Structure 1
Amino acid sequence: MKPLYLGPTFYYAEYALIDTEGKAKEKVIVDLPFSTIVDFNKSNVSIPVNEEDCLFNNTYLQQQQEMRTQNSNTKWTVLEKEIANSSSYSTSSSSKTISGVPKYGWLCGCSPTASGMVLGYWASHGYSYLITGPDLIRELATAMGTEWPGNGATWPWAIDNGIETVCNNHGYNNFDASNDIYVSWSEVKTEVNADKPFVLSM
């Protein structure tokens, strides 16, 4: 197969036809996008290909170009009609927030801040000995080994241990934080819909 370039919209390839004895009988030109053999019986344009002259019918090339333009215009018109008719597209969205989760501003790092929001929720849901706000976030950053002062980075495997350490520091030994490195979007939605705040660290 020998690729042939005739312009930006013409993708042709020359193939040798082989007989049952393995000998080349003739060559054909294939229009690759349309998977058709090009018939250049009447020719008025000569294009050299590998020291041989392969003759191309200029009328055929024009017809192919017109056909491609028509097909493109038809597809574009259909697309414009679909876009104009907004009922052909339906979008849906939903949102859910867990009531009682505090919205802390970033402090010391993403993981300590997010963990502080989760523990801030539990502080108002039966775990009143937990501290809240900036003091909680700083304590979490220390327990997690967060690079602070610095860039605020926290190793993922240190997040759950840091949460448990802070809970233990305030008399709650029954907290069991765990690390799930393969969480799905479905799991995220399930936890939020069940009003169970969690830390999603990326």
Structure 2
Amino acid sequence: MKKFISIMLICLLISISCYSTFANEIAIENATKEFKEKISTHKGFEVWAKAKLSKKIKLYNSEEKLSAYLFNVIREDKIIGYMLVNPKNKQIMEYALGQSPYADYLSNYIELKKEKFKNKKLTLLYDGPSLYGVLVEEKNTVGKGKEIIDFTNDGSIKIDVDTMKDIRPLLEEIDLQVKSITIQSTFIEEKLSNVPYYNVYHGCGPTAGYHIVYYWDKTGYPNLIISSQSATNVIDELYDKMGTFPVGGGNYATLPSSYAKGLEKYMNQSKICNTII
């Protein structure tokens, strides 16, 4: 009888655990859908209104622990955006129009370095803002032959990918003035519990970068902002590192590639980017 009760308790605990996991995943999917609908009401993101979300893709950190869920925003079978979601608290950590680095860019990288990836098991990695990687390891081997590759910062090859190719025609349809290097910027208010509200200063790029830095400074990397630094100090530094430039009328522009490199430079000086080799 005791053995039977023990078995029943074990089964009950397993059922509760499975239900909790299932409920959490449903909550994450619902939160992501709600965020997509909310963002689609803002200028520049209207094209997301009729779009659907892909199935979630698991991303891990360099310690091989779940770090994010990647949802592609799909319209007419094409990727027109993406979102990275925190699996623990459902917060949207990153989102943008166009493809994520894990789409065409990674595909082209693998094609150019195909010998390195031949017959290998691949795991997608995300270690924080601008830290996109892939873990390469031998199949049917445990703990041997592993290599982490920061594929977006491999200077040995040049990859030219138009991440906006599928969304640009849709943007033109709704009369948004889209240029070849950038999209008209828009400030969207999405408050997170541990991120301050700060108006645009020295351009959207450096200001958005400051909010990312502040978020990660309060989420496990406390050395990103020192006590003597004000918000304007950090934004001014990001302005320089991102190569942001004035375009007249009190407006500023930041190239997407320069934005990512500038943010990485800031992170590197705080020594948090050494998790990916």
| TM, length-normalised to structure 2 | 0.27
Q: What TM-score do you get using the length of structure 1 for normalisation?
A: 0.37
Larger Rg: 1
